[in-house]
Structure 1
């Protein structure tokens, strides 16, 4: 089922529409305000039901974010759509290569990617254990104070 996806371009909420094969209403946010009310560009994010799609590698081997450390690739809307549509890792790699994401995006890390839906504004980190990544929310992780 095709749905419209809104892409927020600036603070005036100018929207561009495009079709993607998804079953739920999604939007793509591309900016946010800092404390001084200035718009700061950020990596576009797919949001649904108050949550943001975060891309990670749940299998042992080489981690997705752990290998390339490119924030935009944690959230890339095109890769989210590819994962949801079961597109092969080689197609994801071709997309990354075409977008000039750099040599750190290797063919081998593009297979078996998953999406974790994180509540908007929730702080999180990517934990890597032998290439197996997990998305750890600050609110659920135990922090110590010295």
Structure 2
């Protein structure tokens, strides 16, 4: 499967007029200036937890970017080559044309705020959305629909 089959530029967001990121259904799941997903570079090591927690950047999970990122990661999790439990997403997704990973700064803040917790599934590092993370996601999503 090609990465473009799962993540594509969407239509302009009604709220900010920036181009969004769409899931396979065409639904915008994120809009903003920077994408919360990156192509894995040779110097990246997303299968090691300590890689995610070094060079911490001060961020807060209070932005729409963090909510959209978490929604995107969960929407992409069924594309994992290993079956994952509900509310879990991989640290690395391998497509036929490239490997991608969540953005390090987003994962760092989600880990620090205990909104996700790391787990190993075989040799794969995954992130499980905690109960606090589910509450955060539900509350932030409800805010946007008001």
Which interval holds the TM-score relative to the shorter structure? 0.3 to 0.5
Q: Give 1 or 2: higher helix fraction.
A: 2
Task: From the CA coordinates, give the structure whose radius of gyration is larger.
Answer: 1
How high is the TM-score relative to the length of structure 1? 0.32
Q: Give 1 or 2: higher strand fraction.
A: 1
